[in-house]
Amino acid sequence: MFILQSYFWAVVFCAITMLCWGSWANTQKLAPKDWRFELFYWDYAVGVLLISLLFGLTLGNTGSQGRSFFADVAQASSKSLIFALIGGTIFNAANILLVAAIDIAGMAVAFPVGIGLALVLGVMVNYLANPMGSPILLFGGVALVVLAIILDAIAYRRLSKRTEGLSIKGLALSVACGILMGFFYRFVAASMSLNFANLETGKLGPYAAVSVFSLGVLLSNFVFNTIIMRKPFRGEPVSASAYFRGDLRTHLIGVLGGIVWGVGMALNIIASGKAGFAISYGLGQGATMVAALWGVFVWKEFKEASLGTDKIIAFMFLCFLAGLVLIIIARNV
């Protein structure tokens, strides 16, 4: 299977992850106005699984190191498979909350609060399980991200004074998403061997782990998304038949969203072999800054905010950027 040989390329892969994870939600905004996020999400889950299998069948069967994709899946222990499936299930619950928060509060809020919180928790959990890099720089970067999250929440409150109910619900969903999202990666990491070139028996390599994880996303969707369709966070319940009334373009938009996110996940897991799980996850979740840029400058989600909000948002971006720089250099100190 294909394995990265340098930390530099691991950082590059994590940067691509950042772009993918911060940009996939734009596809939700490209869907028709009357296409509910619950319907969009079915196609999204399919896209995640399809791209993970494509990575496994191509890069997972390339090169002489490690195990081939099918051999890796076949030898995996039940414990490793269950951990990867649990990771997919936790992620899916968190991501549905994220999509709901985007639907209510917008990308510029849902990502910095939800995924920013996930970054903080995820880095801490993964570092404690597998310490790599300088803890001072790593957690210094995390502290700056926390400050950015607080600033974003303040900016959102200034925007939402006239819609107090939605303001509280949007923030609450983002926080709930962040708490769950902070733990999914640890289960995926626990299913994997730390040495990709010489994989442990029973443990999964990166390509098999991502594929099993993605299967967990799709399978759990039949539980979580079905419940949300019947008891939505906003609006009327959605019938299953409504999904089949969407045209091909609408369905492909959702699949594209899943593919974009799935590319980011695959590259991030591949990069973890050189960067370590904590740094790889932390850099990938810099997606918060990318999503906030989309929300602020493309979708104009803060155009009606009160005077002075632009300065708060600018300081938020600076904190995020400085935090990511510290996380990057933490590996080599």
At residue 166, does pLDDT exceed 60?
no
Closest CA to 296 of 94, 22, 20, 16: 22
Mean pLDDT, the chain, rounded, equals 90
DSSP 8-state assignment for residue 203 = S
Q: 28, 104 in Cβ contact below 8 A?
A: no
Q: What integer is the mean pLDDT of 211-225?
A: 98
DSSP 8-state assignment for residue 285 = T
At residue 333, does pLDDT exceed 70?
no
Q: Is 290 helix (H, G, I), strand (E, B) or coil?
A: helix
At residue 82, does pLDDT exceed 60?
yes
The Cα–Cα gap between 44 and 101 comes to: 16
- Quickly state the pLDDT bin for 160 (edges 50, 70, 90): low
Q: What is the pLDDT of residues 259-281, one digit of tens each?
A: 999 999 999 999 999 999 999 99
Element (H or E) spanning 135, and its range? helix 135-159
At residue 206, does pLDDT exceed 80?
yes
Q: What integer is the mean pLDDT of 316-325?
A: 89
Among 22-26, 141-145, 282-286, where is mean pLDDT lowest?
282-286
Q: What integer is the mean pLDDT of 33-42?
A: 94
- Quickly state the pLDDT bin for 162 (edges 50, 70, 90): very low
Look at residue 28 in the predicted model and tell me its pLDDT: 87
Q: What integer is the mean pLDDT of 142-171?
A: 74
Considering only residues 157 and 122, tell me which one the structure prediction assigns the higher pLDDT.
122
Q: What is the pLDDT of residues 121-145, one digit of tens each?
A: 999 999 999 898 899 999 999 899 8
Look at residue 132 in the predicted model and tell me its pLDDT: 84
The Cα–Cα gap between 95 and 105 comes to: 15
The Cα–Cα gap between 310 and 268 comes to: 32
Q: What are phi and psi of 74, to 5 degrees?
A: -65, -35
At residue 198, does pLDDT exceed 70?
yes
At residue 55, does pLDDT exceed 60?
yes
